Amino acid sequence: MRVVAAGVPGVGKTSILEEVAKRANYPIVNFGTLMFEMAKEEGLVEHRDQMRKLPIEIQRDLQKRAAERISGMSDVIVDTHFTIKTPSGYFPGLPRWVLEAMNPEMLVVIEASPEEIYGRRMKDATRDRDVEGVDEINEHLQVNRYSAFACSMYTGATVLILKNNDGQLDRAVERFMEALR
């Protein structure tokens, strides 16, 4: 089964997926890392946080090529984003051409409260993120839900809304594992 797991930055997606990878026989493929590696090889960026500021046409091309690589994989969890907030608005992380190539069977929307996400972002010194307030994070969470259901309508994939509240990582991982079974 090909699964897409996505959430806004700071939601704890990586923490959940690392635990799921330990328990399940599913490799985790980071969609953004594939795109970043291609962009870096081509001299377009030096670090990952520059990706969202590339011209949209370049981002689309990188998406398409990364999706084509993933299309040859089975029983995989794709770590990605439903939407990416850019200076010109929300950019779809899973446009039609990506969905067609990947053809996921399940979409997992990882969420937490906007306040929890804000707090996690403020503690994470490893990333160069744009500062967003709680209201902006809440908007992005809602946009992601809308995007997940639009993707589901197009692919027929199920949508799992997975809560990753503070102190409840094990609960989120177990719920993800139940859905994989």
Domain of residue 116 covers 2-30+74-180
- Position 128 scores a pLDDT of 64
Return per-residue pLDDT of the chain as tens, 181 residues.
Answer: 999 999 998 999 999 999 999 999 889 999 999 999 999 999 999 998 888 789 989 988 999 999 999 998 988 999 999 998 888 889 898 999 999 999 999 999 999 999 999 999 998 777 666 678 999 999 999 999 999 999 999 999 999 999 999 999 999 999 999 999 8
- Position 51 scores a pLDDT of 86
In a domain, 42, yes or no: no
Task: Return the HEC string of the chain.
Answer: CEEEEECCCCCCHHHHHHHHHHHCCCCEEEHHHHHHHHHHHCCCCCCHHHHHHCCHHHHHHHHHHHHHHHCCCCCEEEEECCEEEECCEEEECCCHHHHHHHCCCEEEEEECCHHHHHHHHHHCCCCCCCCCCHHHHHHHHHHHHHHHHHHHHHHCCEEEEEECCCCCHHHHHHHHHHHHC
CATH number at residue 78: 3.40.50.300
Q: How many domains does the chain have?
A: 1
pTM of the model: 0.88
